[in-house]
């Protein structure tokens, strides 16, 4: 995601000012052609209210417009044909392994090899570095917490920290 660049005061003033002028002009035109059949004071209040709403809408769209995504109300054909993730045996196995790693004391850690494999895949695809062949270059790219986790594999059957796994997965996502 691209970082937001703040807009200058002059640009904001121009955008809001032009919105107010256009909305006021449209309101005056509607009053002139007798679409607003009320008195001048009530018509001016309606025009001012609509102008304020439109100005706030323009300001909000300018502030958050780069981060907005179009709404999709109906799934595409591919999404309809995809089975739910609850039926994917790989995700079921991964959920079970994570649960066993963080909640049970009688199981070996099955997550560590998967984390190493995922890190290798991300390094290879994103940076062209082989984790096992070029450990020094990989250490320069990887976050120190991830390097620490990868260089000290868990031993025994003790529980693993959820926070540590969460941190490691976040560091992999940053790759």
Q: Is 76 a residue whose pLDDT tops 70?
A: no
Look at residue 5 in the predicted model and tell me its pLDDT: 57
Residue-wise pLDDT for 155-164, tens only, equals: 877 888 888 8
Q: What is the pLDDT of residues 34-48, one digit of tens each?
A: 776 777 777 778 778
The pLDDT, as a whole number, for residue 75 is 60
- Quick check: is 73 in a domain? no
Question: 99 and 160: one domain?
Answer: yes
Count of the separate structural domains present in the chain:
2
Q: Which residue has the higher pLDDT, 103 or 76?
A: 103
For the chain, what is the radius of gyration of the CA atoms? 29
Note whether 56 and 122 are same-domain residues. no
Structure tokens at 121: 């895949």
Provide the pLDDT for residue 1. Answer: 46
Q: How far is the C-alpha of 100 from the C-alpha of 106, rounded, in Å?
A: 9
Report long-range pairs for 96-103 (Cβ below 8 Å, ≥24 apart): 98/165, 101/159, 101/160, 101/165, 102/159, 102/160, 102/161, 102/162, 102/165, 103/159
Q: Domain for residue 72, yes or no?
A: no
In this model, does residue 32 exceed pLDDT 50? yes
Instruction: Tell me, yes or no, whether 53 and 111 share the same domain.
Output: no
Q: Which one has a higher pLDDT value, 66 or 129?
A: 129
Are 58 and 20 within 8 A, CB to CB?
A: no
* Each residue's pLDDT tens digit, 78-112: 655 556 656 667 777 878 888 888 888 887 778 88
Domain co-membership, 96 together with 60:
no
The whole domain housing 27 covers 9-67
Average pLDDT over residues 105-127: 84
């Amino acid at each position: 995601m691209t970082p937001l660049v703040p807009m200058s005061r002059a640009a904001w003033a121009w955008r809001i000012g032009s919105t107010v002028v256009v909305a006021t002009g449209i309101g005056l035109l509607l009053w002139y052609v007798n679409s607003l059949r009320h008195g001048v004071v009530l018509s001016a209040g309606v025009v001012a209210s609509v102008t304020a709403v439109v100005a706030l809408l323009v300001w909000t769209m300018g502030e958050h417009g780069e981060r907005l995504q179009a709404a999709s109300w109906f799934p595409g054909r591919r999404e309809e044909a995809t089975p739910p993730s609850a039926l994917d045996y790989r995700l079921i196995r991964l959920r079970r392994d994570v649960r066993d790693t963080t909640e049970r004391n009688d199981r070996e850690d099955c997550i560590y090899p998967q984390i190493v494999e995922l890190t290798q895949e991300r390094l290879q695809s994103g940076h062209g570095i082989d984790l096992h062949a070029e450990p020094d270059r990989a250490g320069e790219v990887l976050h120190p917490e991830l390097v620490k986790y990868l260089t000290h594999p868990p031993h025994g059957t003790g529980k693993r920290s959820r926070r540590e796994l969460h941190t490691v997965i976040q560091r992999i996502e940053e790759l």
